[in-house]
Amino acid sequence: MYKSVTVKAGKGGWGGPLTLVPTEAKHKVVSITGGGIHPIAESLAAMMECEAVDGFSTGVPDDEILVAVVDCGGTARCGVYPKKRIFTINVLPVGQTGPLAKFITEDIYVSGVDESCFSYANESDVQAAAASSAPKSKAQAKQEVARMSAGKEKGFITRLGIAIGGVVSKFYAAGRETIDITIKSILPFMAFVSMILGIISASGIGDVIANTISPIASTLPGMLIISFICAMPFLSPVLGPGAVIAQIVGTLLGVQIGLGNIPPQYALPALFAIDAQVGGDFVPVGLSLGEADPETIELGVPAVLYSRVITGPAAVIIAYVASIGLYS
């Protein structure tokens, strides 16, 4: 017998509360966290007496997913399931951010969640959730179609004005979203990287990096080893979220190249070496977003992750060859 659970935002979190009501059709808690089934997903599934599924190893049709558990720091992954109107729990305290921020709303998304955020739902909450998700009646559908159809007979000048207004509004919306993403995502990350570099410079960690990473990143075999390690199927989904690791390491390597500790001709191969894991966490989400069949997701995720082990080092070699004579 399924049980309904209310999930509220945790410390520093945003959104919710969500009332999850399992049914025979929707009863699966899908964990898209890159490291097996997340403990939050396991606890939630146990409370509701539902099934917890590792979204990286098993494809699940959207119409069977009750809630998706993610650990996204603010990239597209936290908005993919809200876009599909699937309840989404983010274990990190992230609000409306990323390219799909407009789909992240309080009625479908909650973040900063830990086990203390779970409680069994009362009857009124369950009834309200059931009413909000109930399909529209034929009469309601006919009324909506009638409202949409009303006033369609317009003159040429009116239609021309509406068309021009539509184009202008799209450009305006694109500009607004660009500014919004820049303010909410790009600038905070730039400030974060600047802070990390300041700490590294002030603490002397930069000297350690120069003495340890620089010799490895200054040779082709060293970069091949870095690429191979980053592309390992069990590591790449963990290192991939938000491409944070790659961006920080890339910035550090850029500083070392600027200081002369790493020859500049290794800049391009180093870029491919540290980027072998980027997107590893997004593979099942991307396939789901492309409406792939569950069997395709189940086979496609390991296929892509294992192919990185081959294509990662191969990209480093190609970049190394392309850099020959580039900085001479």
pTM: 0.65
The position carrying tokens 């080893």 is: 225
Q: Give tens-digit pLDDT for 192-225.
A: 767 776 776 677 766 666 666 667 777 888 888 8
Tokens encoding 61: 């049709």
Residue 40: per-residue pLDDT: 92
Residue 52: per-residue pLDDT: 92
Q: Which amino acid is at 312?
A: G
Calpha distance 249→254 (Å, rounded): 8
Please report, for residues 54, 248, 268, 308, the alpha-carbon distance to residue 232 in angstroms, rounded to integers and kept in the order given. 18, 19, 21, 8
Is a pLDDT exceeding 90 seen at residue 179? Answer: no
Residue 135: per-residue pLDDT: 52
Please report, for residues 18, 41, 71, 93, 318, the alpha-carbon distance to residue 15 in angstroms, rounded to integers and kept in the order given. 8, 18, 15, 10, 46
Q: What three-state secondary structure class fits 56?
A: coil
Q: Give tens-digit pLDDT for 157-172.
A: 767 777 787 788 778 7
Q: What is the DSSP annotation of 276-302?
A: TTTTTTTHHHHHHHTT--HHHHHHHHH
Residue 210: per-residue pLDDT: 61
| Average confidence (pLDDT) over 145-156 | 57
Q: Give tens-digit pLDDT for 66-81.
A: 999 998 877 777 888 8
| Average confidence (pLDDT) over 236-252 | 70
Q: Give tens-digit pLDDT for 269-311.
A: 888 888 888 777 778 777 776 777 777 877 888 888 888 889 9
The position carrying tokens 């966290």 is: 33
The position carrying tokens 């945790």 is: 10
Residue 66: per-residue pLDDT: 92
Which percentage of the chain shows pLDDT scores above 90? 17
pLDDT confidence tier of residue 131, bands split at 50, 70 and 90:
low
Catalytic machinery residues: 72
